[in-house]
Amino acid sequence: MQTFDAIVIGAGVIGSSVAYHLARLGCSNVLVLDRTQIGAGTTAQSSGILRTHYSVIENVRMAQASWRVFNDFAGYLGDEEASAGMVKCGYLIAAPDGAKLDPLRAALDAQQAQGIQVRLLDRQEAQALLPIARFDDAGLIGYEPEAGFADAYLVTTSFARAARRLGVRILEGVEVERLLLENGKVAGVETSQGTFRASTVISTQNIWATDIERWTGIASPVVPERHAVLALEEDANPYTFQMPVYKDLGSPGMLYCRSYGGKQMLVSEGTVGETLATPDNEQGDISMDYMVEVGTQVAERFPAYETAGVASTWTGVYDVTPDWNPVLGRLPDVPGLVVGYGFSGHGFKLSPAVGQVLAQAALGLETEVDIAPYSLERFRTGGLLTGKYGLGAVS
Amino acid sequence: MHILVPVKRVVDANVKVRVKRDGSGVETAGVKLSVNPFDEVALEQAIRLKAQGLASHVTAVTCGPAAAQDVLRTALAMGADDAVLVESAEVDDPGPLAIARWLRAIVAQENATLVLCGKQAIDDDLGATGPMLAALLDWPQAMSVNQLEVRPDNTLAVACDADGGTERLALPLPAVLGVDLRLCEPRHITLPALMRARKAAIRTVPATSLADAGTPPVRPRALLEPPPRPPGVRAENLPALIERLRALLALQAA
Question: CB neighbours of A159 closer than 8 A, spacing ≥ 6?
Answer: A13, A16, A17, A19, A20, A77, A351, A355
Q: CB of A101 within 8 A of CB of A145?
A: no
Across the A:B interface, residue pairs with CB atoms under 8 Å apart total 65
B203 vs A: CB within 8 A:
no
pLDDT of residue A155: 98
| Domain parsing of chain B, residue ranges | 2-214
> Which ipTM was obtained for this model?
0.85
pLDDT of residue B220: 83
pLDDT of residue B89: 82
| A159-183 pLDDT tens trace | 999 999 999 999 999 999 999 999 9
**Do residue A284 and residue B189 have CB atoms under 8 angstroms apart?**
no
| Domain parsing of chain A, residue ranges | 2-51+152-222+323-381, 88-146+223-320
- Residue B19 to chain A, least CA–CA distance (Å): 14
| A75-117 pLDDT tens trace | 999 999 999 999 999 999 999 999 999 999 999 999 999 999 9
A137-150 average pLDDT score: 97
Minimum mean pLDDT range among A28-32, A287-291, B250-254: B250-254
**Do residue A292 and residue B14 have CB atoms under 8 angstroms apart?**
no
pLDDT of residue B232: 83
- Residue B70 to chain A, least CA–CA distance (Å): 8
pLDDT of residue B25: 87
Question: Mean of the per-residue pLDDT values for chain A?
Answer: 96
Q: Is the pLDDT of residue A361 over 80?
A: yes
B191: closest CA among A269, A272, A303? A303
pLDDT of residue B228: 83
Q: Residue A201: beta bridge partners?
A: A7, A337
**Do residue A306 and residue B33 have CB atoms under 8 angstroms apart?**
no
- Nearest-by-Cβ selection for B194 from A233, A291, A305: A291
**CB < 8 Å to B232, chain A:** none
Q: Is the pLDDT of residue B158 over 80?
A: yes
A155: closest CA among A257, A25, A49? A49
Q: Residue A223: beta bridge partners?
A: A320
Question: Mean of the per-residue pLDDT values for chain B?
Answer: 93
CA A247 to chain centre: 16
A31-51 average pLDDT score: 97
- Residue B195 to chain A, least CA–CA distance (Å): 6
| B38-83 pLDDT tens trace | 999 999 999 999 999 999 999 999 999 999 999 999 999 999 999 9
Alpha helices in chain B (DSSP H): 37-51, 69-78, 96-110, 129-137, 191-199, 238-247, 249-253
Residue of B nearest to A231 (CA): B188
> Between residues 127 and 156 of chain B, which touch chain A (CB distance below 8 Å)?
none
- Residue A8 to chain B, least CA–CA distance (Å): 21
Q: b/e for A181-213, b at 16 or more Cβ within 10 A?
A: beeeebbbbebeeeebbbbbbbbbbbbbbbbbe
**Dist. CA A78–CA B157, nearest whole Å:** 60
- Residue A299 to chain B, least CA–CA distance (Å): 9
> Between residues 58 and 97 of chain B, which touch chain A (CB distance below 8 Å)?
70, 73-74, 77
pLDDT of residue B254: 58
Residue of A nearest to B30 (CA): A284
Q: A2-51+152-222+323-381 falls under which CATH superfamily?
A: FAD/NAD(P)-binding domain (3.50.50.60)
**CB < 8 Å to A302, chain B:** none
Q: Higher model confidence: residue B91 or residue B139?
A: B139
pLDDT of residue A304: 96
- Nearest-by-Cβ selection for B32 from A285, A289, A310: A285
Give the pLDDT band (50/70/90) at residue B221: confident
| A174-219 pLDDT tens trace | 999 999 999 999 999 999 999 999 999 999 999 999 999 999 999 9
Residue of A nearest to B13 (CA): A283
A43-52 average pLDDT score: 96
pLDDT of residue B251: 77
- Nearest-by-Cβ selection for B188 from A282, A306, A310: A310
pLDDT of residue A46: 97
Give the pLDDT band (50/70/90) at residue B91: low
**Dist. CA B140–CA A295, nearest whole Å:** 43
Q: Which fold does the domain A88-146+223-320 belong to in CATH?
A: D-Amino Acid Oxidase; Chain A, domain 2 (3.30.9)
pLDDT of residue B53: 96
Q: Is the pLDDT of residue B253 over 70?
A: no
CATH class of the domain whose range is B2-214 = alpha beta
Amino acid letter, B210: L
CA A262 to chain centre: 22
Minimum mean pLDDT range among A386-395, B55-64, B142-151: A386-395
- Residue B188 to chain A, least CA–CA distance (Å): 5
Q: Is the pLDDT of residue B92 over 80?
A: no
A355-366 average pLDDT score: 98
**Dist. CA A280–CA B32, nearest whole Å:** 13
Question: CB neighbours of A247 closer than 8 A, spacing ≥ 6?
Answer: A53, A91, A92, A93, A94, A254, A255, A256, A270, A394
Strands A201-203 and A337-341: parallel
pLDDT of residue A327: 98
Look up residue B22 and give its DSSP letter.
Answer: T
- Nearest-by-Cβ selection for A284 from B16, B32, B187: B32
Q: Is the pLDDT of residue A352 over 80?
A: yes
Peptide bond into A252 cis (omega under 30): no
Backbone angles phi, psi at B214, to 5 degrees: 70, 180
**CB < 8 Å to B15, chain A:** 282-283
pLDDT of residue B213: 83
pLDDT of residue B73: 97
pTM above 0.80, yes or no: yes
pLDDT of residue A392: 81
- Nearest-by-Cβ selection for A282 from B16, B190, B195: B16
**Do residue A292 and residue B191 have CB atoms under 8 angstroms apart?**
yes
- The CA angle A325-A328-A329, to the nearest 5 degrees, is 165
